[in-house]
């Protein structure tokens, strides 16, 4: 939800505003003297909706999809990373 708040309210309620950006994907438009001056949103919202994804990351996502890896759970990803780290530590050992 998009909300316009004053700079004073943003200062006094900063912790609550941060929590709402993360949990609810709320965006806050901060005004000073009746003019909009800033926008506060979660980092995830910013990356997903504002920043252009770098070409190398687009390619990596495409390749992951082609290989069927884009449906992995966080647990599966963690296990895969742990396995690669174990393999790297054991390289060169009999």
d(CA 4, CA 2): 7
pTM here is 0.55
**What are the sequence ranges of the domains in the chain?**
2-48, 54-90
Read off the pLDDT of residues 34-85 as tens digits, 9 standing for 90 and up: 999 999 999 888 888 888 877 887 787 788 888 777 777 778 878 888 888 8
Read off the pLDDT of residues 24-39 as tens digits, 9 standing for 90 and up: 999 999 999 999 999 9
Fold type of domain 2-48: YefM-like fold (3.40.1620)
To the nearest 10°, the Cα dihedral for 2, 6, 11, 15? -20
């Amino acid at each position: 939800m998009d909300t316009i708040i004053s700079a004073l309210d943003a200062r006094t309620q900063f912790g609550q505003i941060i929590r709402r950006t993360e949990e609810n994907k709320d965006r806050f438009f901060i005004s000073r003297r009746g003019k909009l001056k800033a926008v506060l949103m979660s980092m995830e919202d910013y990356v997903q909706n504002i920043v252009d994804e770098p070409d190398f990351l687009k390619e990596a996502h495409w390749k992951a999809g082609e290989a069927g890896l884009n449906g992995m759970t966080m647990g599966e990803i963690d296990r895969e990373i742990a396995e690669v780290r174990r393999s790297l530590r054991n390289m060169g050992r009999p």
